Amino acid sequence: MGTGGYAQTVADVVAESVSAFDSADAMRLSCIGRVGPQAQFVDGRLSTPWLGEDEILAELPRSIRFVLGVGAPPLREALWAHVCELGFLPIPARRHPASVVSGDLEAGPGTVIAPLVVVTTNVLLGAGVKVQDGASIGHEATVGHFSIINPKAVVAGCVHIGESVMIGAQAMVLEGRKVGDGARVGAGAVVTRDVPAGATVVGNPARVVL
């Protein structure tokens, strides 16, 4: 679900992925196409075809699994609900083989872990989570449904990330901190204290700006 460049990066990771739980799983997935508003280069620079607007979903077999290819957490949540109501199921949690994931990871359906990610012990990832290239998640951390951890962000041990949260590229959330539902952590921010639900924080140390 999604038709821009972000959707293409998700499709590329999933095409190379293995099960998030079993490194021996050799099942390959293929992307039949992208669904959503027509985007620039939708039939050119991006390699998977555009199938059509959301209305095309009514014509597709319900045996097809879906994955979220949009980068805005609130929209991810809304799309998930919409597609599930139509009778589609998400893909099982997947990770790129160039990631390092502990054997006790728990991850919900639709979660995608990109290359060069490190996920340490006893981590819980909700449904529809995207962990971007080079990010790391420490021991006993939790990440709520539909949240996105952007490239090279660091989520330290015992951190609790709420639902529909955006952690910016190269941001750092220090050990034991909580980031409330719907919050946004700016790129490069260093979170040294809890972030309220719905807040936007930036800077080092991170401060609320919205």
Q: Distance between CA atoms of 14 and 193, rounded to whole angstroms? A: 35
Q: Is 139 a catalytic residue?
A: yes
* DSSP secondary structure letters along the chain: ---SHHHHHHHHHHHH-EESS-TT---------EESS--TTTTTTSSSPEEESGGGGGGS-TT-EE----S-HHHHHHHHHHHHHTT-EEPPPEE-TTSEE-TT-EE-TT-EE-TT-EE-SS-EE-TT-EE-TT-EE-TT-EE-TT-EE-TT-EE-TT-EE-TT-EEPTT-EE-TT-EE-TT-EE-TT-EE-S-B-TT-EEETTTTEE--
Catalytic residue (choose from 82, 96, 139, 145): 139
Q: What is the set of active-site residues?
A: 139
